[in-house]
Amino acid sequence: MKRNPEPELMEKKEQVISYDEADFSEGEVNLINQINHYLSRKNISLSEKDLIVDLGCGPGNISEKLAIKWPKTEVVGIDGSKEMILRAEYKKNISNNQKKLKNLRYICSDIKDIKSNNLLLKKEISLLVSNSLIHHITNLEDFFNTIRSLSSNLTVNFHKDLKRPLDEESALELKAQCSTKYNEILTNDYYASLRASYTFKELKNFILENNLSSLDVFEDSDQYLIVYGNV
């Protein structure tokens, strides 16, 4: 199926509310476990000296889980949508986990402008994460340029996203499954995301053609891809 890009930022209020109200916790817990497992295999333990950055953090679902898992470590969630950042900050403020979230903060910025805005960051990034971001980015080089410019040679990258279905029929099947659990706005967004997502081959070829061979791509079930490693 040919890629059909979607707008990068999720800025419409109803879109943000639908996304935030949905329960994606199973997949999110799974991602935190995958990251933890990967760090353990590499003998990396995160402490107060480290910095975790969650790109395209949306309403902060993953940022909060990262902060709860590594409460001593500074966690920064970044999203270009003001509505998403407002939502993320609101959720942080009403969370029952205040103590564990005290090292979590949010920044509103397009990922393409982080470096030039000089927004961050007093430390080097130890762990650079994203979930469901890559498919939003119109040009793959923008995503990889960003992670390249934010990473040192010690930064662990871990980016999970949807994998584009093989054909329209499979995309429609996944859309129909989605509609049994989620509302119409979210179902349409999910379908647009499936059509906008990249394939294993597109990501792998980009990495090979752009001297990024310390990164790799892993097919996580038949629906997801993970780009991981060092830049």
Residue numbers at the binding site for ligand SAM (CB under 6 A): 8-10, 56-58, 61-62, 79-81, 84, 110-112, 131-133, 136-137
3-state SS assignment for residue 227: strand
CB count within 10 Å of CB 133 equals: 23
Question: CB-wise, 138 or 199, nearer to ligand SAM?
Answer: 138
- Using Cβ positions, the residue closest to ligand SAM within the complex turns out to be 58
191 is written with which tokens?
Answer: 């379908």
Exposed (0-12), middle (13-18) or buried (19+): which is 99, by Cβ within 10 Å? exposed
- Residue 161, Cα to own-chain centre: how many angstroms? 7
Nearest approach, Cβ of 137 to ligand SAM (angstroms)? 6
Question: CB-wise, 29 or 48, nearer to ligand SAM?
Answer: 29
Nearest approach, Cβ of 177 to ligand SAM (angstroms)? 18
Is residue 79 within 8 A of residue 114, CB to CB? The reply is no
Question: CB-wise, 50 or 161, nearer to ligand SAM?
Answer: 161
Nearest approach, Cβ of 121 to ligand SAM (angstroms)? 15
3-state SS assignment for residue 76: strand
Nearest approach, Cβ of 76 to ligand SAM (angstroms)? 13
Nearest approach, Cβ of 43 to ligand SAM (angstroms)? 27
Residues 6+ apart with CB under 8 A from 2: none
Q: Which residues pair with 51 in a beta bridge?
A: 74
Question: CB-wise, 9 or 185, nearer to ligand SAM?
Answer: 9
Determine the Cα–Cα distance for residues 150 and 143; give it in Å rounded to an integer.
11
Nearest approach, Cβ of 9 to ligand SAM (angstroms)? 4
Encoded amino acid at 128, one letter: L
Determine the Cα–Cα distance for residues 172 and 203; give it in Å rounded to an integer.
23
Question: CB-wise, 61 or 187, nearer to ligand SAM?
Answer: 61
Question: CB-wise, 94 or 169, nearer to ligand SAM?
Answer: 94
Strands (E) across the chain are located at 51-55, 74-79, 104-108, 127-131, 156-162, 215-220, 224-229
